Chain A
């Protein structure tokens, strides 16, 4: 479902004397349905960079990344948008929302975009919020004033509200208490068991051992200095 071949990435910092950072070369990786692959490697090795190229918010300088058959290198914006709508799910590290929108709507929104009616979408959103222990009295409020852990759980709810066939998870268990961490890990296992292809970054080693079927060390893709 995810195929990365010969991918290279560099950053040119025009406003810092044009410094060029060659961060990756020859990156290759494959994630099939029902797999959960964990990216590992030292800080700065390029885990987030690789994941962002797959999500589409970092440009791919060379090589090919295909998600469910769609080529992301040089893809038109609308193709990336279409891929994100129905195929590629994502749990980012931070929640970004329009202020004032109630939590229930924030979580229901991906379903609404897919054309589901409001009642059904909000019922599903409520179910996943309950599972992540976000009390019902918070649902009508905007998550912008929530605690860090609550915001993260809203973000996770949004990322699991639809059964996307491909999922990217960036540190989904960071800053969660033991109870909520266990809920998130079981959500990941359920997604894997229904056949989703999952790629994740987990600094939490226990989480990695529990959910990952395989690890890929991105240090091997680093450009030798």
Chain B
């Protein structure tokens, strides 16, 4: 952690789908160790923004500057494709809302985790398996399930496996799109506890998209509120939730019981 530069600096990020606005002119800095939440109604551009930052989608305009380990801040969008793919494997992680989008369903749980290690150059079978077992333990999946396929797991277990697969390579930045969506509340609580612990232990930075304001309150240092592809409000999480300035944020906050 140098601390001299933001880990990620997003500038004027814009993406349209034909005439329809995905997201427009989004800018922010994310510092090492910070967790930023993104909330907003369905269709407000949250997933579009996340995909553009993570390089899964090419934006129409803007820059995504990442503080690389070797050569400092670099615009990821201007990087040659192989270099960007390597960065995505070594430094970034992307946790999808639907674990099926982030897992290889035909490969065992251990294989799902081990594959990521091999992607960054690990070759020693014994070590890969040991590390996979260790990570399954950290996300509370019993070691004896290591050879099972994800399809044999519950939704919550699949989501935890996806997290293990993503974090095993020690990324510095994690993107999460509705990581607790579709899970029942007790499983959500467990996942929250897990993510919070990991963020602290590993000093990760994260960008988390969610519609759940209670999740955001507990997990995010900062919050960005989106509507119709635009950022309408941003700031310290508890300030945005306790003293919202924008009409839309006020509506969002007053629509839930108590956060």
Residues of A within 8 A of B (CB): 11-15, 52, 56-59, 77-78, 80-81, 96-101, 112-113
Of A59, A96, A101, which is within 8 A of B193 by CB?
A101
Is B200 engaged at the interface, CB distance under 8 Å to the other chain?
yes
* Contact residues in B for A80 (Cβ distance below 8 Å): 236
CB atoms of B218 and A98 under 8 A apart: yes
CB atoms of B193 and A57 under 8 A apart: no
Is B238 engaged at the interface, CB distance under 8 Å to the other chain?
yes
CB atoms of B193 and A58 under 8 A apart: no
CB atoms of A57 and B250 under 8 A apart: no
CB atoms of B239 and A56 under 8 A apart: yes
In Å, the complex CA distance between A57 and B242 comes to: 6
Of B196, B239, B246, which is within 8 A of A14 by CB?
B246
CB atoms of A57 and B236 under 8 A apart: yes
CB atoms of A52 and B236 under 8 A apart: no
CB atoms of A81 and B236 under 8 A apart: yes
The size bracket of the interface on B is 20 to 34
In Å, the complex CA distance between A14 and B192 comes to: 33
Of A11, A52, A56, A100, which is within 8 A of B190 by CB?
A100
CB atoms of B242 and A78 under 8 A apart: no
* Contact residues in B for A98 (Cβ distance below 8 Å): 189, 192-193, 196, 218
**Chain B interface main SS type:** helix
Residues of B within 8 A of A (CB): 31, 34, 189-190, 192-193, 196, 200, 217-218, 221-222, 235-239, 242-243, 245-247, 250-251, 254
What is the CB-to-nearest-CB distance from B247 to chain A, in angstroms, rounded to a whole number?
A: 3
* Contact residues in A for B31 (Cβ distance below 8 Å): 78
CB atoms of B236 and A99 under 8 A apart: no
Q: Could you list 6 A-B pairs, sorted by A, with CB under 8 Å?
A: A12-B245, A15-B251, A58-B243, A77-B236, A101-B193, A112-B200
In Å, the complex CA distance between A58 and B245 comes to: 10
In Å, the complex CA distance between A14 and B244 comes to: 10
What is the CB-to-nearest-CB distance from B105 to chain A, in angstroms, rounded to a whole number?
A: 29
CB atoms of B250 and A96 under 8 A apart: no
Chain A residue with the shortest CB-CB distance to B259:
A96
What is the CB-to-nearest-CB distance from B10 to chain A, in angstroms, rounded to a whole number?
A: 15
CB atoms of A99 and B193 under 8 A apart: yes
Chain B residue with the shortest CB-CB distance to A80:
B236
CB atoms of A99 and B222 under 8 A apart: no
CB atoms of B217 and A96 under 8 A apart: yes
In Å, the complex CA distance between A112 and B196 comes to: 13
Interface centre among B221, B243, B251 (most CB of A within 10 A): B243
CB atoms of A78 and B34 under 8 A apart: yes
Chain A residue with the shortest CB-CB distance to B241:
A57
Chain A residue with the shortest CB-CB distance to B258:
A94
Extra pairs beyond A77-B235, A98-B192 (10, CB < 8 Å): A14-B246, A15-B250, A57-B236, A58-B242, A59-B243, A78-B34, A100-B190, A100-B193, A101-B193, A113-B200
* Contact residues in B for A12 (Cβ distance below 8 Å): 245
CB atoms of B235 and A52 under 8 A apart: no
Of A14, A56, A101, A112, which is within 8 A of B236 by CB?
A56
- Contact A57:B251 (CB < 8 A) given known A96-B218, A98-B192, A98-B193: no
CB atoms of A81 and B221 under 8 A apart: yes
CB atoms of A59 and B34 under 8 A apart: no
